[in-house]
Amino acid sequence: MSNVNFQQSIDQSDRLVPVNLRQSGDPGIQLLISNRVRKSPYWHLSVEAGCWKATVYNRMYHPRAYVKPEDGGAMEEYRALVNDVTLWNVAVERPIRVKGPEAEAFCNYVCTRDVTRVPTMMGRYVVLCDEQGRVLNDPVMLRLADDEFWFTISDSDLAYWFRGVNHGMGFDVEIDEIDVCPLQIQGPKSEDLLADLVGEAVRDVPYYGLMLGRIEGVEVLISQTGFSGEKGYEVYAFNSSLHAETVWNTIREVGEKYRLMVIAPAHHRRIAAGILSYGQDLDHETNPFQCYLGHMVPKAKQADYIGKAALERTRELVNAGQPPFSHQLVGLKLGGKPIEDYAPDFWLVGADAGSEPCGWITSPWYSPELGTNIAMAYVPVASAEIGTELVAWLPDEFLDIPGQPVAATVSQMPFRESVHQSSRERAKAAGRDYAY
């Protein structure tokens, strides 16, 4: 009989479906590769580049490791990212296009931020909520024209949501997934590599800016965006199914002189940058004010949008010290031995070694720069103040003393400086607690 128990001591009464906090570990089960889950146009190229670990994201296979543990594993990939330049297969972001005479009005209705303020050939990080103010997706939105927007989505059914919304609203738009599977080029040498690939004009592209170009004759869209906290870009090849090999191989060939390495999305670096991962750090039952995204609820937007009334009410409750949720996402610095791979469970957090667990870790990793483990975690709202001392129950392999939890301190995010400030950091620097 299994002794993996559901954690009844942790208050999840504000959720309909509790987060599964059973500590079941990594059973070593092999991922089934079949034709029921989609392979992106870059999947076979990732396999050729050494992908040995994968997951499923947006119903597509998603490469999550290239360097074998005996060769340095994920931390060797991290070294390449922060020192040189890296190539990521992130086709699973599969863009959803909204196009038509009322595209701006539609996008402004489904996004919390004011889309009318976004000029053409620019992008924004956006949040989309349901009527109760819960986060359905946190994509990067790109505006290619007055009447055309792309959403590079996190792990959810955003296209279905868009079509369902429009079935009732009747905006004059077309909503489709398009064949422009993205790649990311991330790292301090990314600008020089992109200049070699598409020309010197890329050096003038601002953060969240866009440009059109060609790689070995293939039309591409370049955005200065990414999931790393480092300097970086995303490359969208038009008709990716046809041109995948040409674009991928050209990037790798030109990148050789910059020590380019193919790696997985850098969760170790994005944690340090305070970048959230949908499905891991938040989901469809999470409120923006609960998960470090309260700044994405604007104060100056006059137009109505889905969830507006609920989110403005939540802001009032939070400001009054009566948040309508039991747990708050925070940063943690953790003791213990270095965590250098993905956590198979939401590890538990408590007030002290003699207490029952009261929270859970969503994203842990080791930071070489800080010389300590760092993490995101949900803790009771009363324990969310920076400097609060807690403990974390990690697997035995990471414990200094077997059976004893490690120290955990609530800490400021981001944990280390990013090349580009996030919307949260820019708003704070301007004296605002909200983005436009």
Q: What DSSP designation does 239 have?
A: T
Low-confidence ranges of the chain (pLDDT < 50): 1
Number of continuous H segments (helices) and E segments (strands) in the chain: 9, 21
**Angle between helix 158-169 and 103-110 (nearest 10):** 110
pLDDT for the residue 189: 98
Alpha-carbon distance of 357 to 238, in angstroms, equals 49
Which pLDDT belongs to residue 429? 84
| pLDDT tens per residue, range 121-144 | 999 999 999 999 999 999 999 999
Is 234 one of the annotated binding-site residues? yes
Residue 154: what pLDDT? 96
Residue 2 confidence (pLDDT): 64
User: How much is the CA Rg of the chain, to the nearest whole Å?
Assistant: 21
Residues in CB range of 58: below 8 A, 6 or more apart: 92, 93, 94, 153, 155, 156
C-alpha–C-alpha distance, residues 276 and 407, integer Å = 23
Helix (H, G, I), strand (E, B) or coil at 1: coil
Check residue 1 and give its pLDDT. Answer: 45
Q: In angstroms, rounded to a whole number, what is the distance separating the alpha carbons of residues 308 and 302? A: 10
Which uninterrupted H or E stretch holds 165? helix 158-169
- In this structure, the number of other CB atoms found within 10 A of the CB of residue 107 comes to 24
pLDDT tens across 160-206, in order?
999 999 999 999 999 999 999 999 999 999 999 999 999 999 999 99
In the chain the domains, ranked by start, together with CATH numbers, are: 94-172+287-325 (3.30.70.1400), 181-258 (3.30.1360.120)
